[in-house]
Amino acid sequence: MIVTDLAGPDRGAACGVVDAIPSATELTVIWRSGGLESAGTDLVVIPAHVYEVNNAGALLRDGDVLVENVDDFQVAYFFDGDGDALVDANEYRGVAGVAYDASDAAIEENEIREVRVNLVLRTRFEDPTWTQGVFQNLENRTAVAGTDGFRRRIHTASVRLRNAGNR
């Protein structure tokens, strides 16, 4: 879930997983990002999904396997800090040298314009005739030395956010 405080929008947003619902007005949350752990005057909970790659190399959504043989799953965010609709230095968060930190006060949520998702998939088994397979480093991931017999494909999608005009 994503939580925001309508009465205090400057507090930002936080993400977590609902652990329990003790009553109609209470939630027990396992926080994944900080910022809104303390009560606000008008908290709003927005349903969301949790995507992650487990140790077996499977991409999960809310704990359910979507696809197996995943080498990497990366997300980068374009925050247009100067409003010119062009990607300038340090405006794409999550890429090499520009970390994304949800609690960073310099990031204005209303400046987000685009989200880029990268997925690196590999063959289930190594190809004994292929010795040039290398781990693909994308966004902020560092390269891994060495080769193997896996063939890989990179799938990238960039999404311009709707209704993000001149907020």
Please write the tens of the pLDDT for every residue from 69-121: 999 998 888 888 788 878 887 777 777 777 776 666 566 667 788 889 999 99
- Environment class of residue 97 by beta-carbon count within 10 Å: exposed (0-12), middle (13-18) or buried (19+)? exposed
How high is the pLDDT of residue 164? 61
Q: How far is CA 83 from the centre of its chain?
A: 23
Residue 77: Cβ within 10 Å count: 19
Confidence of residue 61 (pLDDT cuts 50, 70, 90): very high
pTM of the model: 0.71
First-residue to last-residue Cα distance in the chain: 24
SS3 (DSSP) at 92: strand
Using the predicted structure, report yes or no on whether residue 167 has a pLDDT greater than 50: no
**Alpha helix (H) residue ranges in 28-85:** none
Q: DSSP letter at 156? A: E
In whole angstroms, give the CA distance from residue 104 to residue 46. 21
In whole angstroms, give the CA distance from residue 42 to residue 65. 35
Q: Is the Cβ–Cβ distance between 140 and 93 less than 8 Å?
A: no
Tokens of 11: 């507090």
Each domain of the chain, given as residue ranges in start order, spans 2-46, 51-160
Confidence of residue 151 (pLDDT cuts 50, 70, 90): very high
